[in-house]
């Protein structure tokens, strides 16, 4: 499995396109962010900038030893 | 912040074991429940005095923590989901429980072969009977002075830490029918340290300070569009026939049904995508899942409003 993942890892320096499926409620969040005009105006642009901002935030958190080292796991949940 | 001082006492009761009392408490008034000897568990139910179908939802209170503390609210059942009371003061040795539901007669027949054991279900039912309510109207209790612990299996009760003179003050944010009862199982279970004791129940009149706080909290926490009351219901008729009868013409109107999906193309540079790819397996099995998860984690941490105490990852990092 590890080998398979390694082989599927993007090696060539070219842009990657990811198709992300959002439902209408999730798109409302995109609308809120679009109104803020901080992260862009197009859906794909907003998602990209948000994802990169989150990764930057996590990197900053990890760099501070007093804080938690863990990244949020998928099953950490949002207490629906 | 010190609790506002209420007015003079208008009700002062001693509840002997194993009794209870349904007490109207009006907006701005303060209900005080006190230990007389200490070590007595007190089960508590709460209804809207104007609409008994609105009542305390322990399950939704549990979402804010397993221990109700000073400052926390007693929330009603969705779709109403409104603050009914606020805990103004609580003695440090009052441990609260939101896991134990309420004791009933059944386990005592099972475990002890006793079929007439006093219990909170029956005591609460007897107390609310004064207002025409039935045993079916009893709901899970907020339990004061019930020292519950929990582990990977479930919850269990340990020694009661209540001391003589301990008290809890609850400010009414709406007109409520408050129902404190002395727990009926504490003589055979450790809940009340294997003996019954009396409790004291007082209601203090509204003062200018308590009225102001009640109004402030009500305005702050009971003005959402989604806090729906019967005037908003498609069917607001309370069924009196105990048998559910199918309406063949009925058409459910589920919220935002059906789901409307949309595919959005997101472009990352090779370097950016390498960072995303590293989260495969932890934040999703596919690139799509990882990107959506990262997006929503960001939103929850950076834009979610914190009115209710759900999902506070920033605090957990601090």
Mean pLDDT of A70-78: 47
> What residue numbers bound the domain in which A56 lies?
38-65
Q: Which region among A35-39, A52-56, A63-67, B42-46 has the lowest average model confidence (pLDDT)?
A: A63-67
Q: Catalogue the long-range contacts made by B75-80 (C-beta closer than 8 Å, 24 or more residues apart).
A: B76/B48, B79/B226, B79/B227, B79/B228, B79/B232, B80/B48, B80/B54, B80/B227, B80/B228, B80/B229
Q: Is B243 on the interface with A (CB under 8 A)?
A: no
Span B249-271, pLDDT tens digits = 999 999 999 999 999 999 999 99
Give domain status of residue A45, yes or no.
Answer: yes
Q: Which region among B70-74, B111-115, B119-123, B238-242 has the lowest average model confidence (pLDDT)?
A: B238-242
Give domain status of residue A1, yes or no.
Answer: no
Q: Is A65 on the interface with B (CB under 8 A)?
A: no
Give domain status of residue A55, yes or no.
Answer: yes
Give domain status of residue A25, yes or no.
Answer: no
Give domain status of residue A51, yes or no.
Answer: yes
Contacts of A29 in chain B (CB under 8 A): 296, 299, 303
Mean pLDDT of B139-146: 98
Contacts of B311 in chain A (CB under 8 A): 77-79
Binding-face residues of B in 49-68 toward A, CB within 8 A: 63
Contacts of A76 in chain B (CB under 8 A): 313
Interface test with A, best of B258, B317, B318 (most A CBs within 10 A): B317
Global pTM?
0.86
Q: How many CB atoms lie within 10 A of CB B118?
A: 21
Query: Confidence class of residue A12 from pLDDT cuts 50, 70 and 90?
Result: low
Helices (H) and strands (E) in chain A, counts: 3, 1
C-alpha B173/C-alpha B80 separation (Å) is 14
Contact across the interface for B268 and A10, Cβ inside 8 Å: no
What integer pLDDT is reported at residue A65 of this predicted model?
A: 65
Span B298-310, pLDDT tens digits = 999 999 876 655 4
Number of domains in chain A: 1
Query: Confidence class of residue B141 from pLDDT cuts 50, 70 and 90?
Result: very high
Contact across the interface for A23 and B260, Cβ inside 8 Å: yes
Please determine, for residue A77, whether its predicted confidence score (pLDDT) is greater than 90: no
Q: Which region among A62-71, B170-179, B244-253 has the lowest average model confidence (pLDDT)?
A: A62-71
Q: Provide the CB-side half-sphere exposure for B113 (13 A, CA).
A: 0
Mean pLDDT of A15-33: 96
Stated length of chain B: 318
C-alpha A8/C-alpha A1 separation (Å) is 11
| Closest chain A residue by Cα to residue B288 | A20
Span B223-253, pLDDT tens digits = 999 999 999 999 889 888 999 999 999 999 9
C-alpha B194/C-alpha B120 separation (Å) is 15
**Domains of chain B: which residue ranges?**
9-229, 270-317
C-alpha A51/C-alpha B265 separation (Å) is 14
Q: Is B291 on the interface with A (CB under 8 A)?
A: yes
Cβ atoms of B137 and B128 closer than 8 Å: yes
Give domain status of residue A58, yes or no.
Answer: yes
Q: Of B268, B280, B295, which has the smallest distance from its Cβ to A15's Cβ? A: B268
Mean pLDDT of B87-100: 97
Give domain status of residue A11, yes or no.
Answer: no
Interface test with B, best of A31, A50, A67, A70 (most B CBs within 10 A): A50
| Closest chain B residue by Cα to residue A13 | B270
Please determine, for residue B172, whether its predicted confidence score (pLDDT) is greater than 80: yes
Give domain status of residue A48, yes or no.
Answer: yes
Mean pLDDT of chain B: 94
Contact across the interface for A20 and B291, Cβ inside 8 Å: yes
Contacts of A18 in chain B (CB under 8 A): 265-268, 273, 276, 287-288, 291
Query: Confidence class of residue B5 from pLDDT cuts 50, 70 and 90?
Result: very high
């Amino acid at each position: 499995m590890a080998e398979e993942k390694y082989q599927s890892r993007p090696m060539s320096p070219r842009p990657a396109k990811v198709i992300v499926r959002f439902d209408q409620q999730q798109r409302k969040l995109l609308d809120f962010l679009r109104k803020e005009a901080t992260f862009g105006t197009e859906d794909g642009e907003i998602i990209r900038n948000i994802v990169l901002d989150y990764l930057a935030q996590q990197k900053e958190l990890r760099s501070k030893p007093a804080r938690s080292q863990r990244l949020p796991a998928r099953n950490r949940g949002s207490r629906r | 912040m010190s609790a506002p001082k209420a007015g003079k006492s208008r009700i002062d009761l001693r509840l002997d074991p194993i009794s209870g009392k349904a007490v109207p408490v009006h907006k701005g008034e303060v209900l005080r429940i006190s230990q007389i000897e200490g070590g007595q568990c007190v089960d508590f139910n709460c209804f809207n005095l104007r609409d008994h179908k609105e009542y305390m939802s322990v399950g939704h209170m549990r979402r804010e923590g397993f221990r109700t503390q000073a400052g926390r609210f007693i929330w009603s059942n969705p779709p109403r989901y409104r603050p009914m009371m606020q805990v103004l003061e609580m003695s440090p040795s009052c441990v609260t429980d939101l896991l134990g539901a309420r004791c009933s007669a059944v386990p005592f027949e099972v475990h002890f072969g006793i079929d007439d054991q006093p219990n909170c279900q029956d005591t609460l039912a007897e107390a609310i009977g004064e207002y025409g309510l039935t045993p079916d109207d009893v709901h899970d209790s907020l339990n004061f002075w019930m020292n519950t612990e929990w582990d990977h299996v479930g919850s269990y009760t340990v020694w009661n830490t209540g001391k003589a003179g301990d008290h809890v003050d609850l400010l009414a944010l709406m007109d409520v029918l408050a129902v404190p009862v002395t727990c009926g199982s504490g003589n055979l279970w450790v809940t009340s340290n294997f003996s019954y004791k009396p409790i004291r129940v007082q209601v203090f009149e509204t003062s200018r300070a308590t009225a102001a706080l009640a109004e402030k909290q009500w305005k702050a926490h009971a003005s959402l569009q989604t806090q729906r009351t019967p005037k908003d219901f498609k069917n607001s008729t309370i069924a009196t026939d105990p048998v559910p009868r199918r309406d063949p013409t009925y058409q459910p109107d589920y919220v935002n049904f059906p789901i409307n999906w949309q595919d959005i193309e997101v472009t990352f540079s090779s370097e950016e995508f390498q960072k995303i790819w590293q989260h495969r397996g932890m934040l999703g099995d596919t690139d799509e899942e990882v990107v959506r998860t990262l997006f929503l984690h960001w939103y929850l941490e950076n834009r979610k409003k914190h009115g209710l105490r759900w999902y506070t990852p920033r605090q957990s990092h601090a």
